[in-house]
A and B are shown apart, each in its own frame.
Chain A
Amino acid sequence: MSAPHIEQMNAGGGVPLLSVRHLRVEFPSRRGTLVAIDDVSFDIARGEVLGVVGESGAGKSLTGAAIIGLLEPPGRIAGGEILLDGDPIHALRGEAMRRLRGRRIAMIFQDPLTSLNPLYTVGEQLVETMLTHLDLSPAAARERALALLDEVGIPAPAQRIDHYPHQFSGGMRQRVVIALALCAEPELIIADEPTTALDVSVQSQIIALLRRLCRQHHTAVMLITHDMGVIAETADRVAVMYAGRLVEIGPVVDVVRAPAHPYTRGLMGSIPVLGAEVARLVQIDGAMPRLTAIPAGCAFHPRCKEAFARCREERPPLMAAGMTRAACWLHAHDREARSEPAVLRHRRGEQP
């Protein structure tokens, strides 16, 4: 049932910065094992921004947590591998993982207030992170902290460096968090809904900042968000997740303009667009299945208007579909599989 081949998106060849192969994350529970992430594979090249989009519960944040080794027990990586620069990191524990975390892979969380320690000034937090990971003197670290605060657009950094997190506004705090993520010059930043807690006008500033800094520092970003607009404006490629599986991945322009998977098409149609006046939004009936009741075959088939027999029986691997890759039998090359064009609409409403 696994994908027969994994695309090598790095056209230039060589090893991708991050390579996730057949990742499977399980949560053992009394009622059996819940598979929260099921056979997810993707690569991130150096300096690339990969957007990961999906509804809540699709497994996008868990994928990020699995990469940086922050899965909450009893969640565990049950299969597959995660390679950073060719080296497996999914089995690292304890001190080895700590050395990697913050140094080579950094993380930006949704709520900037909870990711900063309220008892330390932002300067102390920046300096501490740098002293942990880099070979610097405290004075040099402070100097670098000042430069970083200036770089992320904090006015009067010389005064602000000695302020506590609560003295900053939401947008300024997220800038501090970005500075904190960048301070050890990581190769990859996992940004989990970095702008969801912010107002739109601040959101656009933070996104522009993140994009500019990552371009300058040549840092790759895995941008996890539910906001397709943010992805469209920021990412180079986008991965769409549904019920713990990757349903489509490809260059952002192609996924936005010509989505190949019926779920992605529904998702795009359901977003109200400023430029267009439509009487009704495209609506995907039903809701994403719970982890306890993921349907056989393609997880999307009960809600899919184009589902046919094969969708109910066999899980589709990622396959070439136009300019993107989609896990959908509609794009199977063996066209005889589509001979039964039965339209499945037996589930209406939101009954899971």
Chain B
Amino acid sequence: MSIIERALAKAKQQDRAAVEEAEGLAHRPEAPAPEEGAPAGVRDSSASPADSSAPDVVGAGLAAKRVAVEPAFAGEPAPTEPVPAAQAGEDGHVAGRIAPPPTEQVLAAAAVEPGVRPDVSADAPAGLAAGTGAEALVAPLLRVEDLRCAFDVSRPFLNRLLEGEPRRWLKAVDGVSFEIPRGQTFALVGESGCGKSTVARLIVGLHEPSAGRIVFDGRDVAEVRGSAARQKLRRRFQMIFQDPYASLNPRWRVERIIAEPIRVFGLERDVAKIRARVAELLIQVGLSPADGAKYPHEFSGGQRQRICIARALANRPEFLVCDEPTSALDVSVQAQILNLMRDLQDALGLTYLFISHDLAVVRHMANRVGVMYLGRIVEIADSHTLFAHPRHPYTRMLLATIPSLAMRGQRAELVRGEVPNPITPPPGCSFHPRCPLATDRCRSEAPLLRALEGGQQVACHAVEEGREDE
């Protein structure tokens, strides 16, 4: 055997080992997140945090949970399709709504007087119109279970061969679980590189997860086969991107941009009706129907983000993934967009996954917040609990470091270090090099998310051992 052949064989072996290792990591036992928002019938008692360390118990727990969950969905009516656009157009509201009263007032009025909400019943799926408040939630609209995504960041094959380098994986998302009840906003917050945007892209299907499940309205997204079924599912969620300059085609007129989802999903074929729907959407986001004839460059950043929102709403989705929707905007424009997003949520019963690095924005928008650090959720809690009683040292650090209008010049240099390279994360708890409470256990053993009272979940040995307030 020649030297080259031998080297090739060795490299292949190494590659296989690396792949196996990555896959093995993907199946590493981890505590399943207790189903906080779920009703008592769905809650699975065997998956309590106490016995989650034993892998076989976890496996059994997961199986039991699936069994327990599925009947709950079976009892429900099948996911209702949105009211076809044609029907919505025929009932005469579209023409009526083109008259240009300022949208925000219309929306505000609609939110205040539930009687005057023809828009809502037309825009929201039939099943949703019955009630959009928290009392209406039966099962979470979206549930993410142990989601993982590893990117291959190895050097090219020949380099690996010649330089004897192993394959390298970037674990962008490393076992993330959460759920979002209907009509609510769940926020993921964290610094750059923590994997929050990857989670967003996994959910809308822009990346393939390495492991884990994404369950939308009771159906595992990965198990939906066939392009027709897939499209039916995809139609129910949409995404708003961070950069309104990059996410609009500069050569298309705004009306064509907004009508694209309607055409792609085949919701409407009649040109006049599409035009009416586009006009209605433009009014809904606070622009004028005449803006449809313009090109994106004629608009400011805030207006472009409104166009992005109008496009996202075009196929009447129930669920919007918003990836840093305001971080490219000035604060006063950000306030306009955040207010608009809240109004639309109230009026259309939308569910948001809101990704942001800005804790103040998250606090303003979210019902529940997950804090991410290096691919993992380190703390999940209701918005007011998280901001009033942060438990994880990282959450506390983040909260302490936001420059705020209130506390002036009080902050010492209490934060140490920077986010480590995600390709080579520190062993144990990945936050330990920056953590003031780190012990030997933190340096060797990765903490699992454990439930505390009040629905708060924290992945921290110090919290578990009760030494976080030292």
Name the contact of A56 in the complex, choosing from B192, B306, B330 (C-beta under 8 A): B330
Q: Quick one: CB contact mask for B387-415 with A, threshold 8 Å, 1 for yes?
A: 10000000001110111111111011101
Chain B residue nearest to A229 in the complex (CB): B403
Name the contact of B331 in the complex, choosing from A172, A202, A226, A349 (C-beta under 8 A): A226
Name the contact of A201 in the complex, choosing from B364, B398, B412 (C-beta under 8 A): B398
Q: Which residues on B sit within 8 Å (CB–CB) of A253?
A: 408
Binds A, one of B65-73, B199-207, B332-340, B439-447: B332-340
Question: Restricting to A25-62, which residues have a CB under 8 Å from any CB of B?
Answer: 55-56
Q: Shortest Cβ distance from A350 into chain B, in angstroms?
A: 5
Q: Which residues on B sit within 8 Å (CB–CB) of A205?
A: 413, 415
Name the contact of A350 in the complex, choosing from B286, B338, B384, B387 (C-beta under 8 A): B286
Contacting pair B401 A200 (CB below 8 A):
yes
Contacting pair B403 A232 (CB below 8 A):
yes
Q: Which residues on A sit within 8 Å (CB–CB) of B32?
A: none
Contacting pair B409 A233 (CB below 8 A):
yes
Name the contact of B191 in the complex, choosing from A201, A234, A280, A351 (C-beta under 8 A): A201
Tell me if B342 counts as interface (CB < 8 A to partner A). Answer: yes
Chain B: interface residue count, which band?
A: 35 or more
Q: Shortest Cβ distance from A277 into chain B, in angstroms?
A: 7
Chain B residue nearest to A257 in the complex (CB): B405
Q: Quick one: CB contact mask for A224-247 with B, threshold 8 Å, 1 for yes?
A: 001111101110000000000000
Tell me if A167 counts as interface (CB < 8 A to partner B). Answer: no
Q: Which residues on B sit within 8 Å (CB–CB) of A280?
A: 339, 342
- The answer to whether A252 and B330 touch (CB under 8 A), given A199-B419, A230-B403, A272-B363, is no
Contacting pair B361 A277 (CB below 8 A):
no
- Given the complex of chains A and B, what is the CA–CA distance between A270 and B399 in angstroms? 20
- Given the complex of chains A and B, what is the CA–CA distance between A255 and B342 in angstroms? 29
- Given the complex of chains A and B, what is the CA–CA distance between A349 and B302 in angstroms? 11
Tell me if A273 counts as interface (CB < 8 A to partner B). Answer: yes
Contacting pair B402 A270 (CB below 8 A):
no
Contacting pair A266 B332 (CB below 8 A):
yes
Contacting pair A270 B335 (CB below 8 A):
yes
Contacting pair A233 B411 (CB below 8 A):
yes
Tell me if B359 counts as interface (CB < 8 A to partner A). Answer: yes
- Given the complex of chains A and B, what is the CA–CA distance between A252 and B407 in angstroms? 12
Contacting pair B413 A200 (CB below 8 A):
no
Number of A-B residue pairs at CB separation under 8 A = 144
Contacting pair A274 B357 (CB below 8 A):
no
Interface centre among B286, B332, B397 (most CB of A within 10 A): B332
Tell me if B424 counts as interface (CB < 8 A to partner A). Answer: no
Q: Which residues on A sit within 8 Å (CB–CB) of B336?
A: 283-285, 350
Contacting pair A202 B418 (CB below 8 A):
yes
Chain A residue nearest to B400 in the complex (CB): A204
Q: Shortest Cβ distance from A211 into chain B, in angstroms?
A: 8
Contacting pair A208 B411 (CB below 8 A):
yes
- The answer to whether A272 and B405 touch (CB under 8 A), given A204-B415, A267-B332, A281-B338, is no
Contacting pair A55 B398 (CB below 8 A):
no
Q: Shortest Cβ distance from A26 into chain B, in angstroms?
A: 23
- The answer to whether A232 and B405 touch (CB under 8 A), given A201-B418, A267-B331, is yes
Contacting pair A233 B403 (CB below 8 A):
yes
Question: Restricting to B65-85, which residues have a CB under 8 Å from any CB of A?
Answer: none
Contacting pair B286 A252 (CB below 8 A):
no
Q: Which residues on B sit within 8 Å (CB–CB) of A256?
A: 405, 408
Contacting pair B330 A207 (CB below 8 A):
no
Q: Which residues on B sit within 8 Å (CB–CB) of A272?
A: 335, 338, 358, 360-361, 363-364
Contacting pair B403 A227 (CB below 8 A):
yes
Question: Can you give 11 A-B contacts (C-beta < 8 A)?
Answer: A55-B332, A56-B330, A199-B191, A200-B401, A201-B397, A207-B403, A229-B404, A256-B405, A256-B408, A279-B342, A349-B287
B binding-site residues for A, Cβ under 8 Å: 102, 191-192, 286-288, 299-303, 306, 330-336, 338-339, 342, 357-361, 363-364, 384, 387, 397-399, 401-409, 411-413, 415, 418-419
A binding-site residues for B, Cβ under 8 Å: 55-56, 169-172, 199-205, 207-209, 211, 226-230, 232-234, 252-253, 256, 266-275, 277-285, 287, 348-352
Task: Beyond the given A200-B191, A200-B402, A275-B406, please list 12 additional residue pairs across the A-B interface where CB-CB is below 8 A.
Answer: A56-B301, A203-B401, A204-B402, A205-B415, A229-B402, A234-B403, A267-B331, A271-B360, A272-B338, A274-B360, A278-B364, A281-B364
